[in-house]
Amino acid sequence: MQIKLILAGYGNVGKEFVKLIHEKASCIQKEYGLELLLAGIIGRDVKLYRPEGLYTDTLLALGDGSAALHRYIEQHPVYNENMEGHVLIESTPTNIESGEPGKQYILQAIENGMDIVSISKGALVTSWKEISEAARVANVSIRYSGATAAALPTLDIGQFSLAGCKIKRIEGILNGTTNYILTKMYEDNTSYEEALQQAQSKGIAETNPVLDVSGMDSACKLLLLSNSLLHTEYTLEDMSMKGIENVSKQDIQKAKKQGKQIKLLARASTDDDGKVQLEVQPSAVDLNHSLAGVTGTEKGITFYTDTMGSVTSIGGASNPRGAAAAALKDVINLYRKDRI
């Protein structure tokens, strides 16, 4: 079965996705009966489209970003007709203000009858109701496990492994950068500023780390999990959020003396009236807490259910390849012969 892919965004994650489908083509064909054909790429200021498939080996040798797409055009002709495919892989930079340009690409693809695999969070966070309703009307599928903690299978567990359960509470460490910083502060008795500088020097934290350290990245992931698994229709305005910028060495040492450590926890819980409460904040957890052992750039999540008890998953690569692998998994699970 041939599946034509259109990729929006050729940044680090987008390029890793192209690498993966190029490297794993024969394996995916043999294991799942799928031929994944990259037919088009939408870059920042350029588009590539060839109905028979782009030459991915050539593309991957031409560098990064839009510059690579322009170099590709110099070597191979592309078509200006409307891009047609089975699924849009949305991997543009996350924009939590308007969700653009990802929102535009998603809605256009839905209108064209395409399924969606989203790695970027912006469009889903800012326009959840609009996008989910458009997909329902068009009878297309949306998968976005890469937007809910990259390689850590948060959404998959909630949707498939816990089917039939009532999820009473979710607790997660959903951001690897903040977990690395808090781990360094705990293990090495460093200040927040020193730990952040180390994270930046290792390429773990961005030059401008505000989305991570403010708790916003964790909040976006928790919001998508809540809307998907707890059937809310919340926005970021419905959430309480506090980051790690003001966590001090003294806070860390005080928690350590009490046999605890501070983690940036994302929580979704149901109150006595049945209303779901969402919060992200630094929290001191006991050393026997299910997520206390999540260290470094690792992430983790625990689901508390009515019939299966508590279920925890820890790990998952916190890098572009891990996010791209999550998108590849979503594509495979949409179209595999033994479809789940």
Domain of 62, CATH number, reads 3.40.50.720
Residue 260 has pLDDT above 60, yes or no: yes
Could you tell me if 51 and 170 lie in one domain? Answer: no
128 neighbors 99 (Cβ within 8 angstroms)? no
For 91-103, the pLDDT digits (tens) are 999 899 999 999 9
**Mean pLDDT across 49-77:** 92
DSSP 126-186: HSHHHHHHHHHHHT--EE-GGGTTTTS-HHHIIIIITTT--EEEEEEE--HHHHHHHHHHH
Same domain for 170 and 107, yes or no, is no
User: What pLDDT band is residue 274 in, cutting at 50, 70 and 90?
Assistant: confident
3-class SS at 103?
helix
Are residues 112 and 174 both part of a single domain?
A: no
Of 339, 6, 17, 9, which is closest to residue 25 (Cα–Cα)? Answer: 17
Question: 78 and 123, same structural domain?
Answer: yes
| Average pLDDT of the residues in 201-227 | 94
Q: Are residues 174 and 307 in the same domain?
A: yes
CA angle 129, 172, 12 (to 5 degrees): 70
Q: Is residue 221 part of a domain?
A: yes
Examine the domain organization and report whether 171 and 310 are in the same domain.
yes
Nearest of 19, 144, 159, 30 to residue 88 by alpha carbon: 144
- Print the domain residue range for 109: 2-151+321-335
279 and 210 both lie in a single domain? yes
Instruction: Identify the pLDDT of residue 217.
Output: 95
Number of domains in the chain: 2
Structure-block tokens of residue 189: 């008795």
Same domain, 129 and 173: no
Question: CB-based contacts of 254: which residues, under 8 Å, 6+ apart?
Answer: none
Residue 220's Cβ-side half-sphere holds a number of Cα atoms within 13 Å equal to: 28
Q: How far apart are the first and last CA of the chain?
A: 16
171 and 250 fall within a common domain? yes
Q: How many CB atoms lie within 10 A of CB 32?
A: 18
Tokens, residue 273? 């009236």
Amino acid 125: pLDDT: 96
- Co-location of 140 and 253 in the same domain: no
Mean confidence (pLDDT) of the chain: 94
Q: Is residue 171 part of a domain?
A: yes
Q: How far apart are CA 108 and CA 85, in angstroms?
A: 12
Task: Identify whether residues 209 and 251 lie together within a single domain.
Answer: yes
Residue 340 lies in a domain: no
Question: Which residues fall within 8 angstroms of residue 87, CB to CB, at 6 or more apart?
Answer: 3, 4, 5, 6, 114, 115, 116, 117, 331, 334, 335
Checking if the pLDDT of 330 tops 70, the result is yes
pTM tops 0.85: yes
pLDDT computed for residue 338 by the predictor: 66
Residues 236 and 144 in one domain: no
Beta bridge partners of 261: 285
| Model pLDDT, residue 207 | 87
Q: What pLDDT shows up at residue 241?
A: 97
Residue 283 lies in a domain: yes
| HSE toward the beta carbon, residue 211, CA cutoff 13 A | 17
Sheet harboring 239-241: ordered strands across?
239-241, 276-286, 260-270, 167-173, 299-305, 310-315
